[in-house]
């Protein structure tokens, strides 16, 4: 015999669901306005990351549909065949089974594009700098400090910068030409 439900269970559950959704839920910013507005990314940078995510999702679907379901006789000029399985009556193109790999490749390619794009836009790694030719720079990793102030800074004034560094106790202030 089943116990009788408490009175107004449906009403109480509806209120709880509303509170969970409207008050206690986690609210996240919408991605595009957050990245382009608050983080000051250009439209090209944002679209590159989104395009890489879409490419990852597409590659994940194509990879799984090829390896799990289709029998291609020639692919990329190499004799390659897929590996079709018929297990428990599962359809050959089972989209729900493909979602985890598609999601992972979306995240992977988006993150790699953002990381390598950051390195490219910041011109990193900088493999050469004019300071590397300075004769005293070899001691910078032993027992000295080197402070490099770039002259391309709009607030750079050679005389004031040199005076300021000497007032702090610099043993030598030199100009290194590139």
Query: For residue range 97-153, what is the model confidence (pLDDT) as tens digits?
Result: 889 999 999 999 999 999 999 899 888 888 888 888 888 887 887 777 788 888 887
Angle between helices 95-121 and 43-68 (to 10 degrees): 140
How many of the other CB atoms lie within 10 Å of CB of 110?
20
Q: Compute the distance between CA of residue 173 and CA of residue 74 in angstroms, rounded to an integer.
A: 67
Q: How confident is the model at residue 67 (pLDDT cuts 50, 70, 90)?
A: confident
Residue 164 pLDDT: 92
Query: For residue range 52-62, what is the model confidence (pLDDT) as tens digits?
Result: 999 999 999 98
């Amino acid at each position: 015999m089943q116990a009788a439900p408490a009175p107004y269970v449906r009403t109480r559950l509806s209120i709880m669901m509303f509170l969970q959704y409207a008050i206690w839920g986690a609210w996240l910013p919408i991605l595009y306005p957050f990245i382009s507005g608050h983080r000051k990314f250009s439209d090209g940078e944002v679209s590159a990351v989104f395009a890489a995510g879409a490419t990852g999702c597409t590659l994940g679907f194509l990879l799984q549909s090829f390896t799990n379901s289709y029998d291609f006789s020639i692919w990329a000029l190499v004799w390659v065949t897929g590996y079709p399985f018929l297990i428990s009556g599962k359809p050959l193109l089972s989209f729900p089974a493909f979602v985890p790999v598609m999601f992972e490749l979306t995240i992977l390619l988006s993150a790699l594009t953002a990381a390598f794009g950051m390195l490219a836009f910041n011109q990193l790694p900088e493999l050469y700098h004019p300071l590397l030719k300075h004769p005293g720079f070899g001691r910078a990793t032993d027992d000295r400090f080197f402070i490099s102030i770039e002259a391309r800074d709009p607030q750079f004034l050679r005389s004031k910068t040199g005076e300021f560094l000497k007032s702090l106790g610099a043993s030598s202030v030199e100009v290194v030409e590139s």
